[in-house]
Amino acid sequence: MEGKIRTIILEDEHKSMLTLQTLLERYCPEIKVIGTGNCVEAGIRVLEELKPELVFLDIAMPDGDAFDLLNRIGKVEFEIIFITAYNDFALKAFEFSALHYLLKPINYLELQDAVQRYLKIRPVSHIQSRLDILNSSLKNHFDKISLPSNDGIIIVEIQDIVRFEAAGNYSTAFLSKGESIIVTKTLNQFEETLMGLHFIRIHNTHLINLRYVKKYQRGQGGVVTMNDGTQIAVSRTRKHEFIEGLRNLSLTMGHSI
């Protein structure tokens, strides 16, 4: 067991628990399952006794949910990979918090990917702050986002992000105070996550926060000037969506264009 990740599975469905344990043994040699639990009460006992590094945690349990358990144990000193049957709104909250999740039924390739993502951020990185973001996002309060980088996870205010620029399988986030962060997520992922929050893809390589648009110069596609002075060409195929986004933002702020 030396060198392996001490892991607990908290899952109320016995068959699902056995399936996950089998998949971990077969496809994730870095993992060593040291305990299991099937409810909040059992989960608290096994967490306090065994002190794992990683927990696979089912959101729904018979005597409460994952958040009931986490609230009762106090300080969280392990990383979490959530197990969930949700497949819509809740997943957006997970993306904002950079917490890992697996959808039921669990696919072994997605399981391997989740474990590899965990390995990249060891030791525990801002876990409590990320849980707070998850809780807030689940209540439809999208104020902060966790940006995973090669060095760990950086938590920023949504309103401080000026734009994202594509960099292969990575992205660069540019913030209002001049900082830039290389993030290990693609522009496509951010476009999907930030949908509905006044972020618009205006080019294959640029996703911008409309609140920081200073000027738009018309043309076939046109050119946007951001508050930081950056000028970005607008793709002709994305021009209509950009104009509509500006109009919606203006209406939200009580203006019209």
Q: How many residues does the chain have?
A: 257
At 24 the pLDDT is: 97
**Which pTM was predicted?**
0.76
At 3 the pLDDT is: 81
Instruction: Give the separation between CA 184 and CA 150, rounded to whole angstroms.
Output: 7
- Which residue ranges of the chain lie beneath pLDDT 50? 256-257
DSSP string spanning 11-54?
-S-HHHHHHHHHHHHHH-TTEEEEEEESSHHHHHHHHHHH--SE
Contact between residue 187 and residue 207 where contact means Cβ atoms under 8 Å apart: yes
At 40 the pLDDT is: 95
Contact between residue 175 and residue 156 where contact means Cβ atoms under 8 Å apart: yes
| Residues 51-92: tens digit of each pLDDT | 999 999 998 889 988 889 998 998 888 999 999 886 665 777
**For residue 60, which of 33, 87, 40 has the smallest C-alpha distance?**
40
| Type and span of the H or E element at 241 | helix 239-252
Burial environment of residue 74 by CB neighbours within 10 A (0 to 12, 13 to 18, 19 or more):
exposed
At 83 the pLDDT is: 92
At 74 the pLDDT is: 82
Instruction: Give the separation between CA 109 and CA 106, rounded to whole angstroms.
Output: 9
At 127 the pLDDT is: 86
Contact between residue 17 and residue 36 where contact means Cβ atoms under 8 Å apart: yes
